């Protein structure tokens, strides 16, 4: 059975030492945030997650959800755990105090969700989707809708879902067919079938609020004719009491590779009663405004699964005795050396560790940008943060879930044959982590969003803004000779990024398809380069701490050595990615479809 | 439900045009092999596999095996299919005619197993393990043992297993504890527990012959004290009739990530009666002599799963309509373009196609080396082939299963959300392919075998032999100007390989652990370089065919363009691997274990 230690010290390092969040008093909502409060929240979540959520991860996977007469039941223990989750107020953290939330910033909330997604990703998706529905109604709903739905979504007494996909319309929402017909004052009858609906139906809450994309009569075709509706499972009367089922039902559970504890449903809307959220035909735009946050959440799943995989692989490598070190016996009293002595085991573990800690720093930075974009008093800084958050949204989602999955596969590999059987839990991490590369926009879609909208769409303005920050960091580090090597690596990475960007700028006008064929390598390039900056920043902090204090020597020494490993293993990969783009992107577009 | 087309034309291309196997009359057993016979065998296997094995792949995965009172039952349909498999003689192809086999060369047999492993990997493992047991007894058993066991193993009426792993002894067989006590003339009582035993017990055959590693009384400790025994499930009397259970039983089924249709068992030997195979204490050596063949079989599983994944992903990409090409609408009459227009989908598919066809050529070459090592009339050539087969054994197993798994993951990605649900079958390929990176020696063990035994162990002699062949090919291609670019790429790859080898030679004497930390990158480097040679050879054949004939233009054009893609996407990766070794290998060894 896997174990888990929430990386609380790393959270402190990122929030306090790297991002200085307790000095961001100019951010609305940060006033009452202090280190004691935040540490207590993390500790509380860590306790809850390791005691309640983690033990249900494997059993939830084995049992899965069941459906009978359109009513879904979750695995044993989920009901009780969810009840406790709600009672302890875990659903409310980052929500608006006006509706019962605690108003905490995203940068705190994001690490709370890391703990949840690490210990039980399938379970964490119930509050996760609820938060998405909360955000949609909060951002776009009328005052009436907000009063009706938000308090119970904030508390977690009701849960939420996002109903976008139809069997013929996944990535391409322009094709969706679900209809909405007016059927009374501000009420619409929704008809259609949606697939892959996470937390679609279950037995955890007394009501479920489905956010549904559908077309109004006479709506323009394509994405400009899509509206967003709130369709509750049970109608909510004026007095707050629950009425009848509105006409929505789960018709089946999807049979999935993983996340078995989450009830992924086929949902049938049979003239189901719902209300419009926001303006007619503006549904897709409404969904898009929540995308940064939702994709951050999925990127976090990739990191979370990678981290719990790493923790268990490391423990196994320290414990499992097989063979001897090539350099000679390390543990003569034991029948064999622990497999941590073997070079390829170390390589896999260091690749995971350096990726995880770098990605965690990037995720923290991204969450802070999202907070700043919403809450910063300075409009110019707000706009800049918004630009950077938009730029890094596909990187956080696509790059982190891709590499996070690979890390889970490597961690499984450390276990040898034991990694392939359920008992040790490692193969579940691989199966669960796999979905994060697919949902909330496949990683191919992320890569295309990056090169298309985020890079070419603004002629590289956002990228230049970010690169300027990196260059400023290099400039500020000149006085510290030990920083020279990190700065040099960062300069090389930025140079490679520039080359790749120039390649796109040069070829895209005449051959737009090049953008697609270069997109994945480009996303990796920006991902690796951004982690190089994160590691350079962390190395700088570690160097200072090691020079000025004697406490926690191992923590800072580990940071410094892991930064060095990152530079020598990950950062060197940018050159190859540029070469790949330059040598293969055109060929990929031009390959004759008949010759596949 | 996935579909499959056996790549019969590609088999012909490799066997006839590239390897010229029908001109290898100096190889014993090849005399009666002609193209008509071989094509008929492939066609027959393709028919059987697509009609009988493929339909049982998904249902076998869903049902899995069951155990009751120590008796395992296989999924519905497996019994009937296996009966047919035996009746049609598919088990006998490459076996010794003296025991009822057809004596076909490995180079033919290997592509027969590709078809099996593609359509139903779990099912194919029953005859696959049987072949391993056949080979062990054939190579090391006494005349009496051979007479007793081989005819029924060759026909497939009985099946076989390999019992190596114990829970504390996986990679490190020195630690194994299973005991063998003499208990009569040439009979031993075997006691111990073995885990992860593929095809350990089942209902497909009337008897199962377990090959078991165990220690005799007073045996030296470590690997020098391990002997190999044949323990039948039911004792075989002098007259060939079956007696009682010898004392071996499956105590449990392993609960695995995939290959559910294969009965992976925990086996308990409770004083089970068995006979010694080969000399006492020479058991590990006996196992090692079959390793090239067994690891070729596992490498083939990686390729086979990758190929069926590719075939289905391509079909889906041609069929699935979502979005429009960046360069403008391609199919104005359809609601959207097929997703094959999108650059990243094409990138994934081309990466798979170019890998698969290159790997298939390498596997063919490797199988021919194994044949030549066993059957060539010229002793010097036999030795050279043996050297090359040993060198490429870890590459075929480790590199092909690693990349084959990644290809399955990419193919699943092409399907978006549909890739994550059972219904389309893509996620099963990922789960099934995953084991090939682990069993028959983890890929980390393969990489270490490569750099340790195969490269440093003979001071690079085998590698130089192979590199000479590559250089000779370059030399012979000088007269063909169109070959220049392929030769140039190959020269670059060989240069990178040389740099990496020099790095190992320089650092290993003082820091042996460097071998381990550089091993995986080195294995990839040799894998990619060897496929560059394969693709250069195939490009040469395609160029000639395109110049001299008008038939099958698309087939040869596809080969040529795929070779070009390989050069621009895969072959360019060797530089980055050398940089990785040079910059990170020492750090990996020196990273303080306390700082993980």
The reported pLDDT for the residue numbered B30 is 84
Which residue of the set B440, B480, B484, B590 is catalytic? B440
Please indicate whether, in this complex, the C-beta atoms of A171 and B447 are within 8 angstroms of each other. Answer: no
Greatest CA separation for chain B: 81
Find the CB nearest B417 among A438, A513, A585: A438
The answer, yes or no, to whether residue A104 has pLDDT greater than 90, is yes
Same domain, B328 and B364: yes
Q: Is A335 on the interface with B (CB under 8 A)?
A: yes
Q: Which residues of B touch A430 (CB under 8 A)?
A: 257, 434
The reported pLDDT for the residue numbered B304 is 98
State which of B228, B253, B288 marks the end of a domain.
B288
Q: 3-class DSSP state for residue A286? A: helix
| Nearest-Cα residue of chain B relative to residue A522 | B344
Instruction: Give one word for A561, left, alpha or beta, with left for phi > 0 and alpha for psi -120 to 50.
Output: alpha
Q: Is A19 on the interface with B (CB under 8 A)?
A: no
Does residue A237 form part of some domain? yes
Q: Is B257 on the interface with A (CB under 8 A)?
A: yes
Separation in Å, CA B227 to CA A397, B133, B178:
53, 15, 10
Same domain, B272 and B299: no
Q: What is the pLDDT of residues A322-347, one digit of tens each?
A: 999 999 999 999 999 999 999 999 99
Nearby residues of A406 by Cβ (< 8 Å), 6 or more positions away:
none
Query: Which pair of structure tokens corresponds to residue B447?
Result: 């990489």
Q: Are A533 and B358 in contact (CB under 8 A)?
A: no
Q: Is B480 on the interface with A (CB under 8 A)?
A: no
Q: What's the CA gap between B255 and A167, in Å, rounded?
A: 32
Residue whose entry in the numeric block shows the structure tokens 């890739």: B419
Q: Which residues of A touch B453 (CB under 8 A)?
A: none
Please indicate whether, in this complex, the C-beta atoms of A423 and B255 are within 8 angstroms of each other. Answer: yes
Burial of A25 (0-12, 13-18, 19+ CB in 10 A): exposed
Same domain, B103 and B149: yes
Q: SS3 for A59-107, per residue?
A: HHHHHCCEEECCEEECCCCHHHHHHHHHHCCCCCCCCCHHHCCCCCCHH
Q: Are B78 and B63 in contact (CB under 8 A)?
A: no
Separation in Å, CA B27 to CA A212, A357, B92, B466:
69, 57, 20, 21
Residues 116-155 of B with CB under 8 A from A: none
Please indicate whether, in this complex, the C-beta atoms of A511 and B327 are within 8 angstroms of each other. Answer: yes
Same domain, A495 and A399: no
Same domain, A322 and A245: no
Q: Are B363 and B303 in contact (CB under 8 A)?
A: yes
Q: Which residues of A are catalytic?
A: 440
Find the CB nearest B572 among A416, A580, A595: A580
Q: What's the CA gap between A107 and A376, in Å, rounded?
A: 14
Q: What's the CA gap between A568 and A538, in Å, rounded?
A: 16
Could you tell me which residues are beta bridge partners of residue A447? none
| Nearest-Cα residue of chain B relative to residue A573 | B576
Residues 413-442 of B with CB under 8 A from A: 413, 416-423, 427, 430-431, 434-435, 437-439, 442
Q: 3-class DSSP state for residue B362? A: helix
Does residue B596 form part of some domain? no
User: For chain A, what is the mean pLDDT?
Assistant: 97
**Structural domain harbouring A585:** 452-595
Same domain, A371 and A472: no
Residues 269-308 of B with CB under 8 A from A: none
Q: Which residues of A touch B434 (CB under 8 A)?
A: 409, 412, 420, 427, 430
Nearby residues of B64 by Cβ (< 8 Å), 6 or more positions away:
B75, B253, B260, B261
Same domain, A319 and A359: yes
Q: Is B7 on the interface with A (CB under 8 A)?
A: no
Please indicate whether, in this complex, the C-beta atoms of A575 and B572 are within 8 angstroms of each other. Answer: no
Q: What is the pLDDT of residues A171-229, one digit of tens each?
A: 999 999 999 999 999 999 999 999 999 999 999 999 999 999 999 999 999 999 999 99
| Nearest-Cα residue of chain B relative to residue A166 | B417
Does residue A77 form part of some domain? yes
Residue whose entry in the numeric block shows the structure tokens 């004792």: B235
Helix (H) or strand (E) holding A421: none
For chain A, give the number of residues. 596
Same domain, B208 and B99: yes
Number of Cβ within a 10 Å radius of residue A139: 12
Does residue A70 form part of some domain? yes
Buried b or exposed e, range A412-439, using 16+ CB within 10 angstroms: bbbbbbbbbbeebbbbbbbbbbbbbbbb
Does residue B135 form part of some domain? yes
Alpha carbon of B240: minimum distance to chain A alpha carbons (Å): 36
Q: What is the pLDDT of residues A573-586, one digit of tens each?
A: 999 999 999 999 99
- Name which of A264, A312, A259, A266 is nearest A62 in CA terms: A259
Residue whose entry in the numeric block shows the structure tokens 């059927």: A183
Buried b or exposed e, range B79-99, using 16+ CB within 10 angstroms: eebbeebbeebbbbbbbbeeb
Find the CB nearest B517 among A318, A347, A438: A347
Residues 501-530 of B with CB under 8 A from A: 511-520
Nearby residues of A347 by Cβ (< 8 Å), 6 or more positions away:
A569, B517, B520, B584, B588
Q: What is the pLDDT of residues A120-177, one digit of tens each?
A: 999 999 999 999 999 999 999 999 999 999 999 999 999 999 999 999 999 999 999 9
The reported pLDDT for the residue numbered A291 is 84
Query: Which pair of structure tokens corresponds to residue B533?
Result: 């040679």
State which of A260, A288, A316 marks the end of a domain.
A288
Please indicate whether, in this complex, the C-beta atoms of A591 and B444 are within 8 angstroms of each other. Answer: no
Residues 446-475 of A with CB under 8 A from B: 447-448, 452
Q: Is A1 on the interface with B (CB under 8 A)?
A: no
Does residue A89 form part of some domain? yes
State which of A257, A288, A319 marks the end of a domain.
A288
Please indicate whether, in this complex, the C-beta atoms of A343 and B585 are within 8 angstroms of each other. Answer: yes
B586 catalytic per annotation: no
Nearby residues of A409 by Cβ (< 8 Å), 6 or more positions away:
A430, B405, B434
Query: Which pair of structure tokens corresponds to residue A262?
Result: 């989450």
Residues 66-125 of B with CB under 8 A from A: none
Please indicate whether, in this complex, the C-beta atoms of A587 and B564 are within 8 angstroms of each other. Answer: yes
- One digit per residue, the tens of pLDDT, for chain B of length 596 reads 999 999 999 999 999 999 999 987 778 878 888 999 999 999 999 999 999 999 999 999 999 999 999 999 999 999 999 999 999 999 999 999 999 999 999 999 999 999 999 999 999 999 999 999 999 999 999 999 999 999 999 999 999 999 999 999 999 999 999 999 999 999 999 999 999 999 999 999 999 999 999 999 999 999 999 999 999 999 999 999 999 999 999 999 999 999 999 999 999 999 999 999 999 999 998 888 788 889 999 999 999 999 999 999 999 999 999 999 999 999 999 999 999 999 999 999 999 999 999 999 999 999 999 999 999 999 999 999 999 999 999 999 999 999 999 999 999 999 999 999 999 999 999 999 999 999 999 999 999 999 999 999 999 999 999 999 999 999 999 999 999 999 999 999 999 999 999 999 999 999 999 999 999 999 999 999 999 999 999 999 999 999 998 899 999 999 999 999 999 999 999 999 999 999 999 999 999 999 99
Please indicate whether, in this complex, the C-beta atoms of B518 and A573 are within 8 angstroms of each other. Answer: no
Q: Is A314 on the interface with B (CB under 8 A)?
A: yes
Same domain, B182 and B124: yes
Q: Are A451 and A519 in contact (CB under 8 A)?
A: yes
| Nearest-Cα residue of chain A relative to residue B423 | A255
Helix (H) or strand (E) holding A12: helix A8-12
Q: Is A223 on the interface with B (CB under 8 A)?
A: no
Does residue B14 form part of some domain? no
Q: What is the CATH number of the domain that holds A318?
A: 1.20.140.10
Q: How many domains does chain B have?
A: 3
Alpha helices in A259-378 (DSSP H): 283-288, 291-319, 343-375
Residue whose entry in the numeric block shows the structure tokens 């925990």: B266
Q: 3-class DSSP state for residue A158? A: strand
Q: Which residues of B touch A595 (CB under 8 A)?
A: 554, 557-558, 561-562
Query: Which pair of structure tokens corresponds to residue B547?
Result: 């110049």
Alpha carbon of B47: minimum distance to chain A alpha carbons (Å): 23
Does residue B213 form part of some domain? yes
Band of pLDDT at residue A475, cut at 50, 70 and 90: very high
Q: Is the dihedral of CA B559, B565, B568, B573 positive or negative?
A: negative
Please indicate whether, in this complex, the C-beta atoms of B438 and A413 are within 8 angstroms of each other. Answer: yes
Query: Which pair of structure tokens corresponds to residue B162?
Result: 């390999």
Please indicate whether, in this complex, the C-beta atoms of A255 and B594 are within 8 angstroms of each other. Answer: no
Q: Are A210 and A231 in contact (CB under 8 A)?
A: yes
Please indicate whether, in this complex, the C-beta atoms of A343 and B565 are within 8 angstroms of each other. Answer: no
Please indicate whether, in this complex, the C-beta atoms of A172 and B514 are within 8 angstroms of each other. Answer: no
Q: How many CB pairs under 8 A join A and B?
A: 283
Q: Are A123 and A81 in contact (CB under 8 A)?
A: yes
The answer, yes or no, to whether residue A549 has pLDDT greater than 90, is no
Same domain, A587 and A527: yes
Q: What's the CA gap between B421 and A275, in Å, rounded?
A: 32
CA angle B72, B75, B78 (to 5 degrees): 100
Measured torsion, CA atoms of residues B505, B492, A508, A393, in degrees rounded to the nearest 10: -10
The reported pLDDT for the residue numbered B560 is 98
Find the CB nearest B561 among A413, A417, A592: A592
Q: Is B326 on the interface with A (CB under 8 A)?
A: yes
Please indicate whether, in this complex, the C-beta atoms of B346 and A314 are within 8 angstroms of each other. Answer: no
Q: Which residues of A touch B347 (CB under 8 A)?
A: 517, 520, 584, 588
Please indicate whether, in this complex, the C-beta atoms of A579 and B572 are within 8 angstroms of each other. Answer: yes
- Name which of B316, B260, B305, B261 is nearest B119 in CA terms: B305
Q: What is the pLDDT of residues A300-326, one digit of tens each?
A: 999 999 999 999 999 999 999 999 999
- Name which of A296, A290, A281 is nearest A137 in CA terms: A290
Same domain, B527 and B561: yes
Please indicate whether, in this complex, the C-beta atoms of B422 and A346 are within 8 angstroms of each other. Answer: no
Q: Is the dihedral of CA B455, B457, B459, B462 positive or negative?
A: negative
Q: What's the CA gap between A82 and A59, in Å, rounded?
A: 15
Helix (H) or strand (E) holding B546: helix B513-548
Find the CB nearest B256 among A171, A420, A568: A420
Separation in Å, CA A207 to CA A237, B78, B214, B386:
13, 46, 61, 69
Residue whose entry in the numeric block shows the structure tokens 């001109």: B23
Residue whose entry in the numeric block shows the structure tokens 């027959």: B44
Q: What is the CATH number of the domain that holds A201?
A: 2.40.110.20
Residues 524-563 of B with CB under 8 A from A: 554, 557-558, 561-562
Please indicate whether, in this complex, the C-beta atoms of B172 and A419 are within 8 angstroms of each other. Answer: no
Same domain, B263 and B325: no
Separation in Å, CA A390 to CA A284, A299, B176:
17, 14, 56
The reported pLDDT for the residue numbered B92 is 96
Q: SS3 for B456-468, per residue?
A: HHHCCHHHHHHHH
Q: What's the CA gap between B582 and B518, in Å, rounded?
A: 8
Please indicate whether, in this complex, the C-beta atoms of A327 and B511 are within 8 angstroms of each other. Answer: yes
């Amino acid at each position: 059975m896997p174990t888990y230690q929430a990386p609380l010290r790393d959270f402190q390092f990122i929030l306090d030492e790297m991002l200085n969040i307790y000095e961001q008093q100019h951010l609305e909502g940060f006033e009452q945030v202090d280190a004691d409060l935040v540490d207590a929240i993390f500790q509380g979540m860590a306790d809850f997650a390791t005691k309640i959520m983690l033990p249900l991860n494997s059993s939830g996977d084995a049992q899965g959800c069941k459906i009978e007469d359109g009513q879904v039941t979750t695995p044993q223990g989920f009901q009780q755990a969810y009840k406790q989750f709600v009672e302890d107020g875990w659903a409310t953290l980052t929500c608006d105090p006006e509706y019962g939330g605690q108003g905490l910033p995203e940068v705190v909330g994001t690490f709370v969700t890391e703990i949840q997604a690490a210990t039980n990703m399938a379970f964490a998706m119930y509050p996760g989707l609820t938060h998405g529905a909360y955000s949609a109604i909060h951002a776009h709903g009328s005052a009436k809708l907000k009063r009706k739905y938000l308090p119970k979504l904030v508390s977690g007494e009701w849960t939420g879902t996002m109903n976008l996909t139809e069997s013929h319309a996944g990535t391409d929402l322009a094709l969706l067919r679900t209809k909405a017909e007016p059927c009374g004052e501000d009420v619409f009858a929704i008809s259609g079938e949606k697939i892959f609906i996470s937390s679609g139906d279950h037995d955890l809450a007394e009501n479920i609020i489905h956010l549904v994309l559908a077309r109004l009569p006479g709506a323009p075709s394509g994405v400009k004719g899509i509206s967003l509706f709130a369709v509750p499972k049970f109608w909510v009367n004026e007095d707050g009491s629950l009425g009848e089922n509105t006409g929505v039902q789960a018709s089946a559970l999807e049979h999935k590779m993983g996340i078995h504890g989450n009830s992924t449903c086929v949902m049938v809307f049979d003239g189901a009663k719902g209300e419009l959220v926001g303006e007619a035909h503006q549904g897709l735009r409404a969904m898009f405004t929540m995308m940064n946050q939702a994709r951050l959440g999925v990127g976090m799943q990739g990191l979370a699964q990678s981290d719990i995989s790493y923790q268990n692989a490391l423990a196994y490598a320290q414990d499992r005795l097989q063979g001897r070190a090539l350099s000679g016996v390390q543990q003569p009293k034991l029948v064999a050396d622990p497999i941590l002595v073997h070079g390829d085991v170390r390589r896999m573990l260091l690749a995971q560790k350096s990726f995880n800690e770098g990605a965690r720093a990037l995720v923290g930075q991204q969450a802070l940008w999202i907070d700043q974009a919403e809450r910063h008093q300075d409009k110019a800084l707000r706009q800049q943060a918004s630009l950077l958050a938009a730029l890094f949204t596909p990187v956080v989602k696509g790059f982190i879930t891709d590499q996070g999955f690979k890390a889970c596969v490597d961690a499984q590999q450390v276990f040898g044959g034991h990694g392939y059987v359920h008992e040790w839990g490692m193969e579940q991490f691989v199966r669960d982590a796999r979905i994060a590369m697919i949902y909330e926009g496949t990683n191919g879609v992320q890569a295309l969003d990056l090169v298309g909208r985020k890079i070419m769409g603004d002629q590289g303005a956002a990228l230049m803004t970010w690169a300027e920050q990196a260059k400023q960091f290099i400039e500020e580090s000149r006085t510290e000779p030990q920083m020279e090597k990190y700065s040099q690596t960062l300069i090389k990475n930025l140079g490679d990024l520039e080359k790749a960007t120039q390649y796109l700028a040069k070829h895209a006008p005449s051959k737009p398809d090049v953008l697609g064929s270069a997109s994945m390598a480009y996303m990796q390039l920006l991902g690796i380069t951004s982690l190089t900056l994160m590691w350079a920043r962390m190395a700088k902090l570690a160097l200072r701490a090691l020079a000025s204090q004697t406490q926690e020597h191992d923590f800072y020494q580990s940071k410094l050595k892991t930064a060095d490993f990152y530079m020598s293993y990950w950062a060197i990969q940018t050159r190859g990615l540029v070469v790949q783009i330059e040598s293969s992107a055109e060929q990929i577009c031009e390959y004759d479809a008949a010759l596949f």
